[in-house]
Amino acid sequence: MRIKLNDTQADALRAFLDTCDDAEQLSAREYVLDLYDIARPISLDLVFVKGGIGVDGAAELKYDEAQDGWYMGDRLEKPEAVLEALREAGALEK
């Protein structure tokens, strides 16, 4: 999926990713981000493209207490769900 962002939003998202302990930069444009501390934890594969971001992967994160670890849940298909999670995490303005 693709999400439109203006330059200010893209810069804010990059700044968030650069300081987030749960974000890993894979290339100059691509990041993997796990958002554990939101109401509905998710994992994202984000690629900065002209005019916004491409979301190459997005899925809920589920916690298994017996295994004491996180695993991938359902895929997220709607851009609104990704935007809501980024806003809740403080990566984008609300």
State which residues form the domain around 49: 2-89
Query: How many structural domains comprise the chain?
Result: 1
Residue 28 lies in a domain: yes
- d(C-alpha 73, C-alpha 58), whole Å: 10
List pLDDT tens digits, range 52-77.
Answer: 999 999 999 999 999 999 999 999 99
Residue 68 sits at φ, ψ, to 5 deg, of: 55, 50
How confident is the model over 1-54, as pLDDT tens digits?
Answer: 999 999 999 999 999 999 999 999 999 999 999 999 999 999 999 999 999 999
Q: Is residue 94 part of a domain?
A: no
List, for residues 80-93, the tens digit of each pLDDT value. Answer: 999 999 999 999 98
Quote the tokens at residue 33: 């981000």
**Domain-located, residue 80:** yes
